[in-house]
């Protein structure tokens, strides 16, 4: 090979290396629901049939069904999206599950339930921080499920984390951080 040909091959090799995309950052080992919500919404919105889908709720549980005291114990998520704003949508809703470290397939929903409204602006309060606020308020037991939803009701203006503890339901306002504990048992 001649010297100019070798230089051309070297230059093309350097060009290929310089324009190759950087490797994607690895996902956290047990990602928080805030991170997962953004990924789930992007995954749906990338598909024409769900281009304007908006998060309605996210329900988290443990993989083994046993109670946990830690945010990291919640490793299965079920996301429900309101898809009514998507033009020519065949389904008014959609679901997407995250389990064993990956998302499943998007499934259309023929109808949406009542009792919640869309979460148009995704919260920034992490599950771990919400749980820390609950512990600070005095609830230290285990929980079996957590829902993130914007509940319809008097005085509810922000999405809530709704924790199912063994002694009742505890809510955390995702904007203010206000914790509402169950009433004490007599």
Please say whether the beta carbons of 158 and 176 come within 8 A: yes
Task: Give tens-digit pLDDT for 4-44.
Answer: 554 444 444 444 433 434 444 444 567 899 999 999 999 99
Q: Per residue, what are the HEC states of the chain?
A: CCHHHHHHHHHHHHHHHHHCCCCCCCCCCCCCHHHHHHHHHHHHHCCHHHCCCEEEEEEEECCCCCCECCHHHCCEEEEEEECCCCCCCCCCEEEEEEECCEECCCEEECCCCCCEECCCCCCCCCHHHHHHHHHHCCCCCCEEEEEEEEECCCCCCCCEEEEEECCEEEEEECCCCCEECCCCCC
Task: Give tens-digit pLDDT for 136-160.
Answer: 999 989 999 999 999 887 888 899 9
Q: pLDDT higher for 156 or 49?
A: 49
Q: Is the pLDDT of residue 172 over 70?
A: yes
pLDDT value of residue 2 = 63
pLDDT value of residue 18 = 38
> What are phi and psi for residue 46, nearest 5 degrees?
-75, -15
Q: Where are the domains of the chain?
A: 33-180
Q: pLDDT higher for 179 or 115?
A: 179
* Band of residue 186 on the pLDDT scale cut at 50, 70, 90: low
Those residues whose C-beta lies under 8 Å from the C-beta of residue 121, and which sit 6 or more positions away, are none
pTM of the model: 0.81
Mean of pLDDT values over 126-143: 94
Q: pLDDT higher for 123 or 151?
A: 123
């Amino acid at each position: 090979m001649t010297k100019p040909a070798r230089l051309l091959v070297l230059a093309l090799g350097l060009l290929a290396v310089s324009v190759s995309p950087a490797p994607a950052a690895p996902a956290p080992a047990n990602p928080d629901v805030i991170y997962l919500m953004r990924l789930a919404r992007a995954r749906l919105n990338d598909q024409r049939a769900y281009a304007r889908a908006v998060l309605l709720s996210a329900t988290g549980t443990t993989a083994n069904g046993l109670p946990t005291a830690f945010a990291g114990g919640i490793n299965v998520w079920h996301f429900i999206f309101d898809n009514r704003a998507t033009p020519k949508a065949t389904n008014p809703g959609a679901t997407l599950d995250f389990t064993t470290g990956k998302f499943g397939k998007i499934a259309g929903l023929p109808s949406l339930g009542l009792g919640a409204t869309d979460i148009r602006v995704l919260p920034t309060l992490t599950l771990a921080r919400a749980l820390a606020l609950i512990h600070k308020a005095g609830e230290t037991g285990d929980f079996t499920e957590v829902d993130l939803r914007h509940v319809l009701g008097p005085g509810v203006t922000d999405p809530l984390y709704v924790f199912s503890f063994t002694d009742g339901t505890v809510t955390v306002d995702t904007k203010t951080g206000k914790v509402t504990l169950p009433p004490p048992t007599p």
